[in-house]
Amino acid sequence: MRVAAERDASRYEADGYGVGGDEQGNGRVNIILLGPPGAGKGTQSERLVAERGMVQLSTGDMLRAAVKAGTPVGLQAKAVMEAGELVSDAIVSALIGERMDAGTGTGAIFDGYPRTAAQADALDLLLAERGQTLDYVIELDVNEDALVERIVGRFTCANCGAGYHDTFKTPREEGVCDVCGSTEFKRRPDDNEQIVRTRMAEYRAKTAPIIPIYEARGLVRRVDGMADIAVVTASIETILNEG
Ligand code: AP5
Ligand code: MG
Ligand code: ZN
């Protein structure tokens, strides 16, 4: 278990400056992927990381790594996450700040952050302090009823974190990770129907209300999150190539 936690954490250490970005932040594109549990934030992040050299900053992944490693943050977050509720704004914003300082390649993908109005304010400050801006808020437009099926069928590689689904995205060879060849997989403790309903209620109550803040700033772009995974990626690519 410990090895998996360290590898999860190491995903945040990479810092390549690829096409379109440099150390001064020129050509950088910073985006928020916004959507309820199971909308495809992690799935799409994985593809943007591979194809564009962007860096995924997923507070959910960071918190899960902290829980596994048994850090003070992890000890505080564990029960809250298992109940499907939100971890404190101060904790997640501190995690995001640390990861931003570790470098964000050709741009940051904020996945699952911000989730409250206070976190949206904190992100503005974190970006401003680093002389960066937010370019797009990409909202994955989805049908909540279909998301439960997505979530209960989800599993990931225990070694490299690659994401799969029992029906929608199976490994090419059964039981073997496409990316690293590992044969160990895991499922999240909060991925059962009852907890998913709580997570969705939290999204509706606390996260959806931040969308108008970004709409007022002209940053929101809506993408049909119910389309095939590759079609969703293509729609996001079109937006990123706009500017
Ligand atoms: P987090 O890890 O962020 O979970 P979440 O928001 O509930 O979102 P998920 O990771 O479940 O969904 P996703 O959109 O990434 O979907 P995925 O791509 O995997 O947060 C977990 C917990 O941590 C929270 O409940 C909270 O306690 C805490 N937390 C995290 N951030 C916090 C914050 N900022 N503040 C406070 N607390 C915080 O896709 C799902 C499945 O569907 C996959 O199997 C995938 O293969 C499949 N799939 C994806 N796209 C498609 C498609 N287009 N068609 C068919 N299948 C698809
Ligand atoms: Mg996710
Ligand atoms: Zn793997």
11, 44, 59, 98: which to mutate for ligand 1, most atoms within 8 A of CB? 59
Which pLDDT score, from 0 to 100, does residue 9 have? 38
Tell me which residue of 45, 41, 50, 59 sits closest to 16, measured CA to CA.
50
Selected catalytic residue, list 186, 188, 197, 206: 188
Q: Is-contact 179 7, C-beta < 8 A?
A: no
**Residues 14, 100 contacting (CB under 8 angstroms):** no
> Per-residue pLDDT for 17 more than 80?
no
pTM score, whole prediction: 0.89
Total Cβ atoms within 10 A of residue 9? 17
Q: How far is CA 158 from CA 10, 180, 237, in A?
A: 13, 10, 28
Identify the helix (H) or strand (E) that includes residue 165. strand 163-165
Q: Which atom of ligand 1 is nearest to the CA of 84?
A: 25
Residues 142-194 pLDDT 10s: 998 889 999 999 999 999 999 999 999 999 999 999 999 999 999 999 999 99
Element (H, E) at 97: helix 89-101
Q: Which residue has the higher pLDDT, 27 or 151?
A: 151
Active site residue 47: no
Question: Which residues, 6 or more positions from 125, have their beta carbon under 8 angstroms from its beta carbon?
Answer: none
pLDDT at 3: 37
Neighbouring C-beta atoms of residue 110, cutoff 10 Å: 27
CA 167 to chain centre: 21
CA of 145 to the centre of ligand 3 (A): 29
Residues 58-97 have pLDDT tens digits of 999 999 999 999 999 999 999 999 999 999 999 999 999 9
pLDDT in tens, 203-232: 999 999 999 999 999 999 999 999 999 999
Q: Identify whether the C-beta of residue 37 lies closer than 8 Å to the C-beta of residue 151.
A: yes
